[in-house]
Chains A and B, each alone.
Chain A
Amino acid sequence: MVQGPVLVFAESLGQDFRKASLEAVTEGKRIAGIVNTSLVAVAIGNGIKDRTSYLGAYGADTVLVADAPELKTFHPDYYRTVGLEAVRKVNPGVILMPATSSGKDLAPRLAIHLNTVVATEATKLDVEHDRLVATRPVYAGKAFLRVTMKSSPFIATLRPNAFNAKQAPSSKTPHVEELQFNKPQSRMTVHEYHAHAGKKMDLTEANVIVSGGRGMGGPENYKILEELAETLGGVVGASRASVDAGWRPHSDQVGQTGRTVSPTLYIACGISGAIQHRVGMINSKVIVAINKDPEAPIFGFADYGIVGDVFQVVPALTNELRRYLGK
Chain B
Amino acid sequence: MISRLKWRLHGYNRFHFYLFETPFRTAKPYSSSRSRKFIGHSKLKIIVCIRRVPDTATRIKIAPDNRSIEMSDVEYVINPYEEYALEQGVQLKEKHGGEVTVLTLGPEKSTPMIQKALALGADNAIHLKSNNFPDDPSAIARALAAELKNHQFDVLLFGKKGVDDDNHQVGEMVSELLGIPCATQVVKLEIADGKAFGTREVEGGSITVEISLPAAFTGEKDLTVPRYASLRELVAARKKLITIKEPQPFPALLETVSIQYPPPRPQGRIIGKGVEAVPELIKVLHEEAKVI
Contacts and interface: CB of A to CB of B under 8 A. Distances in A.
Interface of A: 73-74, 76-77, 80-81, 84, 100-102, 104-105, 107-109, 111-121, 128, 133, 135-151, 184-196, 199-202, 204-205, 232, 249-251, 253, 256-258, 264-265, 275-276, 282-283, 285-288, 294, 299-309, 312-313, 316-317, 320-321, 324-325
Interface of B: 26-27, 29-30, 32-33, 54, 56-60, 62, 69, 80-81, 136-138, 141, 161, 163-170, 172-173, 175-177, 180-185, 187, 200-212, 215, 220-222, 251-262, 265-266, 268-275, 277-279, 281-282, 284-286, 289, 291-292
A100 B168 CA distance: 12
B274 A199 contact: no
Contact of A146 (B202, B208, B259, B286): B259
Contacts of B166: 120-121, 136-140
B163 A139 contact: yes
A133 B255 CA distance: 10
Given A109-B173, A144-B261, A303-B265, A250 B221 contact: yes
- Across the A-B interface, give the 3 residue pairs with the lowest CB-CB distance, nearest first: A202-B203, A108-B169, A308-B274
A105 to B, nearest CB: 5
A111 B173 contact: yes
Contacts of A288: 281, 285
A233 to B, nearest CB: 10
A307 B262 contact: no
7 contacts: A101-B201, A112-B172, A112-B173, A113-B27, A138-B165, A141-B262, A194-B208
B253 A151 contact: yes
A286 B221 CA distance: 28
Contact of B215 (A73, A187, A191): A187
Contacts, number: 289
Given A119-B254, A257-B221, A143 B215 contact: no
Contacts of B272: 306-307
Contact of B27 (A112, A120, A276): A112
B268 A249 contact: no
Contact of A193 (B26, B137, B207): B207
Given A199-B205, A282-B262, A138 B136 contact: no
Contact of B59 (A115, A142, A305): A142
Nearest to B66: A146
A198 to B, nearest CB: 10
B258 A146 contact: yes
A172 B157 CA distance: 47
Nearest to B199: A194
Contacts of B167: 118, 120
A118 B257 contact: no
B178 to A, nearest CB: 11
Contacts of B30: 77, 80-81, 113, 184
A295 to B, nearest CB: 12
Nearest to B170: A108
A316 B272 CA distance: 14
B59 A275 contact: yes
Contacts of A204: 203
Nearest to B206: A194
A276 B220 contact: no
Contacts of A257: 56, 80-81, 163, 221
Nearest to A76: B182
A45 to B, nearest CB: 14
Contacts of B168: 104, 108, 120-121
Contact of B274 (A105, A137, A232, A312): A312
A321 B292 contact: yes
A226 to B, nearest CB: 15
B274 A108 contact: no
B172 A108 contact: yes
A280 B253 CA distance: 28
Nearest to B205: A195
B203 A101 contact: yes
